[in-house]
Amino acid sequence: MDFHPKDLPIAKTYDLKDVKDASDAVDDMVKIGFNNQKEGFKVLMPKEAKLAKRIGYTVTTGVTHGLRQKNEIRDIKYWTYHHDKDHYAIVLISNKILTELGF
């Protein structure tokens, strides 16, 4: 990997506190879509391991499931990393857009 996910263009950032927030963020991301824009989405999660794992699982599987329900392309790349001392982050972006941006 020649870049860090924080360097990708971000359309919207979600600061999630719990799994319900994650479900709402997934619904919003699927509604906005991944293929009709040149940016990705960033999800910030608390640095509490068990909760972050649940939120991360909800986001990644929820996006895939939501895109499948809409019959959209599910070729999404994502990275999880330490965002700051209080948050983990997940960056999600369409693989097609990632290629177009030259990453």
Where are any strands of DSSP class E within the chain? 10-15, 40-46, 76-84, 87-94
What mean pLDDT is predicted for residues 1-27? 91
Taking the domains of the chain in order of start, what are their residue ranges? 7-100
pLDDT in tens, 87-96: 999 999 999 9
pLDDT in tens, 33-81: 998 889 999 999 999 989 999 999 999 999 999 999 999 989 999 999 9
54 backbone dihedrals φ, ψ, rounded to 5°:
-65, -45
Fold annotation for 7-100: Translation Initiation Factor IF3 (3.30.110)
Q: Classify strands 40-46 and 10-15 as parallel, antiparallel or unpaired.
A: parallel
